Amino acid sequence: MSNALNMSMTTTAHIAMLEYDFMTNAFMAAGIVAVVSGLVGFFLVMRGQTFAGHALSHVGFAGATGAALIGVAPIWGLIGFTLAAGLGMGFLGERISGRDVAIGVVLALALGFGLLFLHYHTAFAGQATAILFGNVFAVDHATIVILAGLGVITLIALGAIMRPLVFASLQPELAEARGVSLRAVSMAFLAIVALAVSACAQIVGVLLVFTLMVGPPAAAQRVTTRLRSGLLLAALLALAEAWCGITIAYYTDWPVSFCIAALSALGYFSCLGAGSPRVRAARHRGSPAPIPSPAATSISPQSRAS
């Protein structure tokens, strides 16, 4: 009897939580962003370009603060700057590979410009904190519509380039020999990443983009070697971490971004020792975890692109 009463009270509490508009908006926005981040992040991790996502988020901060300075909604500045940076990074391609120092200086400069713009628009200080660390509880219906639009565009674009993207990621030399433009694929993919980063920043902030775009996909690739199951698992992990993080934050009054980041780290480290025998065997041999081939069946540990 007591167990049934406790379950009833718990269910009632969860239902009461959803009676607030800001909680409903938070779950809707986080759901959209989590699915998009998990799917796009899977390919980001597969291509070994996680640093690109981090770089784009820093550039986006400058764009958001610059937009606010001239009276434009910050999200449009964030999208514009990240999209331009993504296209530029994709165009340069291998020229920026291994240039960690130069990239680091550019990232610092981007944050510096963000602080400069903020200096001239001090009324934007509260929103700047939300951009840096996220504030999903402040999401309104208009922002949800924008996030939904970004999500649809991102997923359609990702689906359109998926086959050449996987081919170019795993076997770039062969893909180029068969007429696949590696530069075009790289530009298209990093433009997609830019849109996903812009959406993700609305939930966890530009400084914690890794929590949804890297943590869940990296954990998924520790567990499975199949493309479809890996994509599905990455999206589900990101969704679960986002929704559970919001729920924990609601009941504890902890920052949402911290809760999501902690769950992301917990999920990844929990999967370090997990995975199929094939994945564990590859790690035991010292090879990187295998990634699905374009046919989504066989896997080649040696074909992970940088």
Please tell me the distance from the alpha carbon of residue 259 to that of residue 198, in angstroms, as a whole number: 20
In terms of residue numbers, what domain contains 243? 17-303
> Would residue 140 count as lying in a domain?
yes
Residue 239 lies in a domain: yes
pLDDT grade for 238, boundaries at 50, 70 and 90: very high
Tell me the pLDDT band of 66, cut-offs 50, 70 and 90.
confident
Give the pLDDT confidence of 20-36 residue by residue, as tens digits.
899 999 999 999 999 99
Instruction: Indicate whether 283 belongs to any domain.
Output: yes
Nearest to 60 by CA among 186, 159, 152, 150: 150
Sign of CA dihedral 53, 59, 61, 162: negative
State the pLDDT at residue 93.
65
Spatial separation of the C-alpha atoms in residues 85 and 259, rounded to whole Å: 29
Asked if 60 contacts 200 with a C-beta cutoff of 8 angstroms, the reply is no
Q: Is residue 7 part of a domain?
A: no
Task: Identify any residues that bridge with 144 across adjacent strands, giving them in sequence order.
Answer: none
φ/ψ region of 253 (left if φ > 0, alpha if ψ in -120 to 50, else beta) reads left
Q: What is the distance between the alpha carbons of residues 42 and 53, in angstroms, rounded to a whole number?
A: 12
**Helix, strand, coil: what percent of the chain each, to 5?**
80, 0, 20
Residue from 137, 196, 187 nearest 161 by CA: 187
Residue 5 lies in a domain: no
Locus of tokens 């759901």: 31
4, part of any domain: no
Residue 95 pLDDT grade (very low, low, confident, very high; cuts 50, 70, 90): low
Q: How many domains does the chain have?
A: 1
Is residue 89 in a domain?
yes
How wide is the angle at C-alpha 189 spanned by C-alphas 191 and 147, nearest 5°?
Answer: 50
pLDDT band at 298 (very low <50, low <70, confident <90, very high): very low
What are 148-180's pLDDT values in tens digits? 999 999 999 999 999 999 998 888 889 888 888
Q: How far separated are the first and last CA of the chain, in Å rounded?
A: 58
Strand, helix or coil for residue 120: coil
CATH number at 191 reads: 1.10.3470.10
Number of CB atoms found within 10 A of residue 169's CB: 25
In a domain, residue 118? The reply is yes
Structure tokens at 230: 């890996």
pLDDT of residue 301: 37
Enclosing H/E stretch for 209: none
Q: How far is CA 143 from CA 62, 140, 303, in A?
A: 20, 5, 40
DSSP 292: B
Strands (DSSP E) found in 48-180: none
